[in-house]
A and B are shown apart, each in its own frame.
Chain A
């Protein structure tokens, strides 16, 4: 079983309507390509992201938003920051670095 099977992933951006959707789209590609079946892939605005984070196993955001997540419980939620939010290759590499993908 893949590590991310049954996990919940959240993509965040400033508005929850642009780059987070591009990210969600790219995450779905990575999941399909690696034959992973996460329980949920969602998106939201960073203003809601921090409080929502505890309900997710992985939170992904663009670099400028990383500091919004200061203080989240990193033992439960992995924060992944991206330079290029629509790059499925960068997402795949980041998940591997975080030990979430083989």
Chain B
């Protein structure tokens, strides 16, 4: 079975940007572009994610500058299950959380879900990736799809 990172490369669900001076709203929008390109989501999908972060704060930004923008399962404008991966050379500022802690991200894993089983499988794999710091560091330096695959070959996630 292929891994989520292999799927990201096979489906061209990736984006490599500089990110300097970008607002988080723009960054979220750009992270959905690779999903829009193959009809996984509609071109206004990002609006729902932005509204959710505006309402609840940047709780989708995790440790190690990882962002996992997402909405609900079977959300409006979602046609396939997938992950839009994006690397920013510069950190994107998401403001502060409820404890006043600064939230920034340079790795985006933007989720869309039309199929709960596939989505759960994606999440389980992402949970392992998000705790694999060496892999995250290597992914943050990726500039090409080949770099993504190389990072995973070097720092594979163990099965658990």
Contacts and interface: CB of A to CB of B under 8 A. Distances in A.
Interface of A: 13-19, 21-22, 25-26, 29, 45, 62-65, 83-86
A15 B71 contact: yes
Interface string B88-104: 00000000011100000
The 3 tightest CB contacts between A and B, nearest first, are: A18-B70, A15-B72, A21-B123
B52 to A, nearest CB: 6
A17 B124 contact: no
Interface in B116-134: 119-120, 123-124, 126-127, 130-131
A14 B68 CA distance: 13
Contacts, number: 62
B47 to A, nearest CB: 14
Interface residues of B, number: 28
A14 B56 contact: yes
Interface of B: 52, 55-57, 59-60, 62-63, 68, 70-73, 75, 97-99, 111, 113, 119-120, 123-124, 126-127, 130-131, 160
B126 A22 contact: yes
B101 to A, nearest CB: 9
A45 to B, nearest CB: 7
